[in-house]
């Protein structure tokens, strides 16, 4: 298991992505899965950065684990900001024209569609969001 704790700011998304990609390279992760994971990192860490601690900045921990049956990467995002379960948000109505859709929610929708498993829990004052991608 590898983990990093970093300030939850949008400016740190590239550092988080590089940290995760280093592990993905070791696993010879296919490019399609890697791109999907990168999008998920951008969306999820971005949400933590923009909403968890506002107007302040706080820490977020990103943990990368590998499961071998089947081979998968599990990325856990942990923050002590406002409690928020992203899995409780409704999916956007993608049948509506873009001009009629409400703003927001599309990024989480894409994460749900591209990851093999997503779990959320709030424990001991911490938001704990895990994504799993089989590779």
Output the pLDDT for position 97: 57
> Looking at residue 42, which CATH number applies to its domain?
3.30.565.10
76 by Cβ neighbours in 10 Å (0-12 / 13-18 / 19+) ranks as middle
Q: How would residue 103 be classed by pLDDT, with cut points 50, 70 and 90?
A: low
Q: What average pLDDT does range 123-130 have in this prediction?
A: 97
pLDDT of 106: 59
| pLDDT tens digits, one per residue of 4-57 | 999 999 999 999 999 999 999 999 999 999 999 999 999 999 999 999 999 999
Measured CA to CA, the distance from residue 63 to residue 54 in angstroms comes to 23
User: pTM (2 decimals)?
Assistant: 0.88
Average of per-residue pLDDT values in the chain: 89
Whether a cis peptide bond, with omega within 30° of 0, leads into 70 is yes
CB 45 within 8 A of CB 77: yes
- Find the domain containing 49 and state its range: 2-134
Q: How many domains does the chain have?
A: 1
């Amino acid at each position: 298991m590898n983990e990093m704790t970093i300030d939850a700011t949008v400016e740190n998304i590239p550092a988080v992505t590089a940290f995760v990609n280093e592990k993905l390279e070791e696993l010879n992760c296919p490019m399609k899965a890697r791109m999907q994971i990168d999008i998920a990192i951008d969306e999820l860490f971005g949400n933590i950065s923009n909403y968890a601690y506002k107007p302040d900045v706080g820490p977020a921990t990103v943990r990368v684990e590998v499961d071998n049956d089947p081979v998968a990467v599990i990325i856990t995002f942990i923050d002590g900001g406002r409690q928020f379960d992203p899995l409780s948000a409704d999916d956007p109505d993608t049948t509506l024209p873009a001009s009629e859709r409400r703003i927001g929610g599309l990024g989480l929708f894409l994460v749900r569609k591209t990851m093999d498993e997503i779990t959320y829990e709030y424990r001991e004052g911490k938001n704990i969001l895990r994504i799993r991608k089989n590779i």
